[in-house]
Amino acid sequence: MFPPRLVRVSDASRIPSLGQLHAMNPAQQPSYADQAELADVIARLRTRPPLVFAGECDELRTKLAAVARGEGFVLQGGDCAETFAGVTAANIQNKLRTLLSMAVVMTYAAQVPIVKIGRIAGQYAKPRSKDTETRSGVTLPAYRGDAVNGFDFTPESRRHDPKRLLETYNSSSATMNLARALLTGGFADLRTAHSWNADFVRSAPVNERYTELVQEIERALAFMVSCGMDDEAMHTVDFYSSHEALLLDYEHAMTRIDSRTHTPYDVSGHFIWIGERTRQLDGAHVEFLRHLRNPIGIKLGPSTSAQDALALADKIDPDREPGRLTLITRMGAGRIRTVLPPVIEEVMASGRQPVWMCDPMHGNTFTTDNGVKTRAFSDVADEVDGFFGVHEQCGTWPGGIHIELTGDDVTECVGGVDELGEDDLGERYETLCDPRLNRNQSLELAFTVAQRLTEGRIKRANPVQEYTPKTF
């Protein structure tokens, strides 16, 4: 067990103040017209109860440490941008169901614990490449996620409104509340796995495959129960929330000093990450997050050099604490096989053991001739394949995938089992930001990952299989 970091109580006072962070000119922040209103919102958020507990963040860190050692795999997924309107029981339940069914597929094939992290209950702010958007000659501020402004293309809706930060807290809280209730109240019971896909008729092959797998699991469970084994672990699951820590006002206001350890945790989510556009080594986001005790992710795009990755790792995780650091590579299907190997080699040569995760979404976005933002399932699968291939070649453990998905039957990404074409995208295109895999495409990707986890050196390197046959 890694010894707890020795932290003096006075460390808490070393979190930079919001004023100090803003003085660093942080990227991708809203510009609020009324600073007094913002100050009032921040003051209110500072007194709100935590959405997650520090101890849960520690527990996740411990699990991520196991993943980094090759003893587990992370499934992180959810919307690109959650919306306030999307906080409905059906929506949340469908997303959880998709994640759970993916996790079952992966667990059964790979026989490793799957650490489930939702891009959920806090993913309301988006970095944008342009500050403004122009439609028919009218230019307005770009949509930056419901935490900042509205999607409707009117001056009133696009205004940056600090009160939305309170709504962000409330929406995250409602989502977390339902997720916790569902996951501990029977919804995640493995005996209900057959029902997670029950209402899904489209695309028989992937659903048939899922049904067959669940029937196999049910036979195994029935066998275990008849042998007298009925473990609590079969009835509930551990599930964690995550989002990009983009809005410093919100994240700072949601930071609390843990009463057990006197150290700071961002209690707006268990796992928080720094995006590709805000990971400047001397930037305010890195400066702030390096003080927090949550497990931290950093997105690494195709321009990442090994030196960049190492410098970020040194800054965020100077103590090399197991489970602290997750490097989420999102290089694109065409680049991953050349850009990732030197990054891995340098980081490993420095003696670090981060969780290596693959985000096969953000390096593979393109716009169709009709002007629709999409991704091809084949590119997503190809980047995942490249990720496994590179890690296999480097002798490192591919620790997880980070994907944008929804539990609904949307048509936002082309290809996949339903062979969605560009002309189908208009049918049900609902995302307010990036295109997401629908439920079938997500499940299909889970089967692809499951397959890779059972092959070649990756399989042989898997030390977690606790069940080994014996001869008497």
Nearest to 322 by CA among 7, 56, 4, 61: 61
Under the binding rule (CB under 5 A), the answer on residue 412 touching Co ion is no
Given ligand PEP, Co ion, none, residue 330, with its beta carbon under 5 to 8 Å by kind, binds ligand PEP
Site for Co ion in 71-110 (CB under 5 A): 80
Answer for the pair 306, 345: CB distance below 8 angstroms, yes or no.
yes
To the nearest whole angstrom, how small is the minimum distance from the Cβ of residue 309 to ligand PEP? 14
Under the binding rule (CB under 6 A), the answer on residue 276 touching ligand PEP is yes
To the nearest whole angstrom, how small is the minimum distance from the Cβ of residue 37 to ligand PEP? 27
Query: Which CB, 80 or 272, lies closer to ligand PEP?
Result: 80
The contact pattern for ligand PEP, residues 214-233, with x = CB under 6 A and - = no contact, is --------------------
To the nearest whole angstrom, how small is the minimum distance from the Cβ of residue 402 to ligand PEP? 8
Among 97, 164, 335, 362, binds ligand PEP (CB under 6 A): 362
Among 80, 188, 417, 446, binds ligand PEP (CB under 6 A): 80
To the nearest whole angstrom, how small is the minimum distance from the Cβ of residue 404 to Co ion? 5
Contacts of 263 (CB under 8 A, 6+ apart): 7, 11, 12, 54, 257, 293
Query: Which CB, 70 or 354, lies closer to ligand PEP?
Result: 354
To the nearest whole angstrom, how small is the minimum distance from the Cβ of residue 418 to Co ion? 22
Contacts of 206 (CB under 8 A, 6+ apart): 417, 440, 443, 444, 447
Among 58, 251, 385, 434, binds Co ion (CB under 5 A): 434
Query: Which CB, 80 or 437, lies closer to Co ion?
Result: 80
Query: Which CB, 383 or 434, lies closer to Co ion?
Result: 434
Under the binding rule (CB under 5 A), the answer on residue 246 touching Co ion is no
To the nearest whole angstrom, how small is the minimum distance from the Cβ of residue 265 to ligand PEP? 22
Given Co ion, ligand PEP, none, residue 252, with its beta carbon under 5 to 8 Å by kind, binds none
Nearest to 243 by CA among 400, 90, 77, 354: 77
Under the binding rule (CB under 6 A), the answer on residue 275 touching ligand PEP is yes
Among 330, 335, 375, 436, binds ligand PEP (CB under 6 A): 330
Among 95, 97, 299, 375, binds ligand PEP (CB under 6 A): 299
Site for Co ion in 9-38 (CB under 5 A): none
Among the residue ranges 184-192, 273-281, 283-291, 384-392, the one whose residues contact ligand PEP (CB under 6 A): 273-281
To the nearest whole angstrom, how small is the minimum distance from the Cβ of residue 303 to Co ion? 18
To the nearest whole angstrom, how small is the minimum distance from the Cβ of residue 226 to ligand PEP? 45
Under the binding rule (CB under 6 A), the answer on residue 302 touching ligand PEP is no
To the nearest whole angstrom, how small is the minimum distance from the Cβ of residue 82 to ligand PEP? 11
Under the binding rule (CB under 6 A), the answer on residue 127 touching ligand PEP is yes
Among the residue ranges 147-155, 274-282, 382-390, 423-431, the one whose residues contact ligand PEP (CB under 6 A): 274-282
Answer for the pair 384, 416: CB distance below 8 angstroms, yes or no.
no
Closest CB to ligand PEP belongs to which residue?
Answer: 275
Among the residue ranges 231-239, 287-295, 432-440, 444-452, the one whose residues contact Co ion (CB under 5 A): 432-440
User: Pairing mode, if any, of strands 255-257 and 264-266?
Assistant: antiparallel
Query: Which CB, 38 or 80, lies closer to ligand PEP?
Result: 80
Size of the site for ligand PEP (CB under 6 A): 9
Query: Which CB, 275 or 407, lies closer to ligand PEP?
Result: 275
User: SS3 sequence, the chain?
Assistant: CCCCCCCCHHHHHHCCCHHHHHHCCCCCCCCCCCHHHHHHHHHHHHHCCCCCCHHHHHHHHHHHHHHHCCCCEEEEEECCCCCCCCCCHHHHHHHHHHHHHHHHHHHHHHCCCEEEEEEECCCCCCCCCCCEEEECCEEEECCCCCCCCCCCCCHHHHCCCCHHHHHHHHHHHHHHHHHHHHHHCCCCCHHHHHHCCCCCCCCHHHHHHHHHHHHHHHHHHHHHHHCCCCCHHHCCCCEEEEEECCCHHHHHHCEEECCCCCCEEECCCCEEEECHHHCCCCCHHHHHHCCCCCCEEEEECCCCCHHHHHHHHHHHCCCCCCCCEEEEECCCCCCHHHHHHHHHHHHHHCCCCCEEEECCCCCCEEECCCCCEEEEHHHHHHHHHHHHHHHHHHCCCCCEEEEEECCCCCCCCEECCCCECHHHCCCCCCCCCCCCECHHHHHHHHHHHHHHHCCHHHHHCCCCCCCCCCCC
**Interacting residues toward Co ion by CB under 5 A:** 80, 434
**Interacting residues toward ligand PEP by CB under 6 A:** 80, 127, 244, 275-277, 299, 330, 362
